[in-house]
A and B are shown apart, each in its own frame.
Chain A
Amino acid sequence: MIESYLEARAGCKTVNQLNVLHISLENQLAPLEVAALRHELDRRRLAPAGDADPSGAPNWSEQSEVWIARLVGRIALSGKPRPERFARRTIVPDVTMYSSGGATRDKTLAICFAGSAQRLMMPVPCFLQHLDASRFDVVVLRDAARRGFRAGIPGVGGNLTQVVEKIGENQRRSYGSVVSYGTSGGGVPALWAALQLKLEKGVSVGGNSPEDSRWTLWGDGGVAVPFRYYLERNQGRTELLLVHGADAPEDAEAARQMREAVPADLVAVSGRDGRPCKHNATLPLLEGGVLGRFLELALQPGSDLDELRRLAAAGDAAAQ
């Protein structure tokens, strides 16, 4: 991996091209891969310098160091001494599976819908590090077209219903539990997946309103129309959780509207250190060192809502 990273880096002619490479890696790597990359970059940095490139092309080693240190620093906020042992497997370019192996019957599968930034409000290895790889397998879905998965995912399905059907097929039978999770533009698709597949739980963080223009395919009620259909069919079995930043009025209003359309629990995350919590509701949880516990509870059916809300308000409490 280090060789392909260095090769790609050497091909970058501008900082922006290097950032494209780094963003792409942050959207895909597993924690173990980040640790390996860090180790190799450190080893090479400490090695005696070779002859300078006569072409004068930038070598980017300093920028690499800043990038990997920042990424490792965010991963370290989990407080865990070792990287979670997820292995990455690309199903199709926009669907990636992360698993440490073992019997799926004893595990929970989290079907995760990335927002239009192609990530779960944070680098993927950072999100994964906050889960327990012995208990969770994670599949991350990205919509490169940034249309909330309405046009599906190439190689999987041509619309959201087909994508959900394909990804969920057989999983409900083989896993002990299956839940869905989505952030921002992936929030509504996560709720959709939970309802369509009759999952135990669906979680949306900073998701759209059911009446958002992106979801008016089914008339003025937007996504509420198919959601009500699925809810009736599911007989209320699916638990839904809506999380939003306490200082993001659009997201709070979207969550309120969604809760009018479907029964759901609501959690507002407070900012910390005097900073507001806006669209990225996971950031104060990450920086406050409580993201792991928050995700554990959020992804667990029947979890303690009071504890979730206490964690969400932790930054607020610390500021007082």
Chain B
Amino acid sequence: MNEAEGRRWLAGALESCSVYALRRQGLVDAFVGGDLDLPLADLEMDSLAEMELCIAIEVETGFTVVPETLRDHESLGALARLVAGVTA
């Protein structure tokens, strides 16, 4: 998976975790296209959504990110690079 694919996967995973901030702000295409990045804090994830996103990343990549350290990743783009790097 390259970074663009990582971004596409992550955008889908957020929807699956009931995180609609990207879609609501009309930012999905810009994020997937690599034209935009945003801090995880801007996604307004609750604790359940954070857990579900970590679960999804682990299922997809086998790499364990836990809710307690999820926000150590500076942005959604950084998370996409992580996903892409692990699956490359």
Interface residue from A19, A116, A146 paired with B54 (Cβ < 8 Å): A19
CB-defined contacts of B24 to chain A, threshold 8 Å: 250
Does B18 lie within 8 Å of A184, measured CB to CB?
Answer: yes
Interface residue from B18, B55, B64 paired with A115 (Cβ < 8 Å): B18
CA distance A122 to B38 in the complex (A): 28
A23 within 8 A of B: yes
Does A20 lie within 8 Å of B16, measured CB to CB?
Answer: no
* Contact mask for chain A residues 5-20; partner B; CB cutoff 8 A; 1 contact, 0 none: 0000000001111011
If A20-B55, A117-B18, A250-B24 touch, whether A15 touches B48 (CB-CB below 8 Å) is no
CB closest residue in chain A, given B50: A19
CB-defined contacts of B37 to chain A, threshold 8 Å: none
Q: Looking at chain A, what size class is its interface with the partner chain?
A: 10 to 19
CA distance A204 to B63 in the complex (A): 38
CA distance A119 to B48 in the complex (A): 11
CB closest residue in chain A, given B66: A15
Interface core residue of B48, B49, B65, B66 (most chain A CB under 10 Å): B48
CB closest residue in chain B, given A185: B18
Task: Give the residues from 279 to 300 in chain A that come closer than 8 angstroms, CB to CB, to chain B.
Answer: 279-280
CB-defined contacts of A280 to chain B, threshold 8 Å: 46
Chain B binding site: helix, strand, loop or mixed by DSSP?
A: helix
CA distance A39 to B40 in the complex (A): 38
Interface residue from A16, A115, A117, A146 paired with B58 (Cβ < 8 Å): A16
CA distance A281 to B23 in the complex (A): 20
CA distance A280 to B45 in the complex (A): 11
CA distance A14 to B58 in the complex (A): 9
Interface residue from B18, B48, B49, B64 paired with A16 (Cβ < 8 Å): B64
If A16-B55, A19-B54 touch, whether A117 touches B48 (CB-CB below 8 Å) is yes
Q: Which 4 A-B pairs have the closest CB atoms?
A: A16-B58, A19-B51, A16-B55, A116-B18
A-binding residues in B (CB < 8 A): 16, 18, 24, 44, 46, 48-49, 51-52, 54-55, 58, 64-67
**What would be 11 A-B contacts, judged by CB atoms less than 8 Å apart?**
A15-B64, A15-B66, A16-B55, A16-B58, A19-B51, A20-B55, A23-B48, A117-B49, A119-B48, A146-B18, A184-B18
* Given A117-B49, A146-B18: 15 more A-B contacts, CB < 8 Å: A14-B58, A15-B54, A15-B66, A16-B51, A16-B55, A19-B54, A19-B55, A23-B48, A117-B48, A117-B52, A119-B48, A146-B16, A250-B24, A279-B44, A280-B46
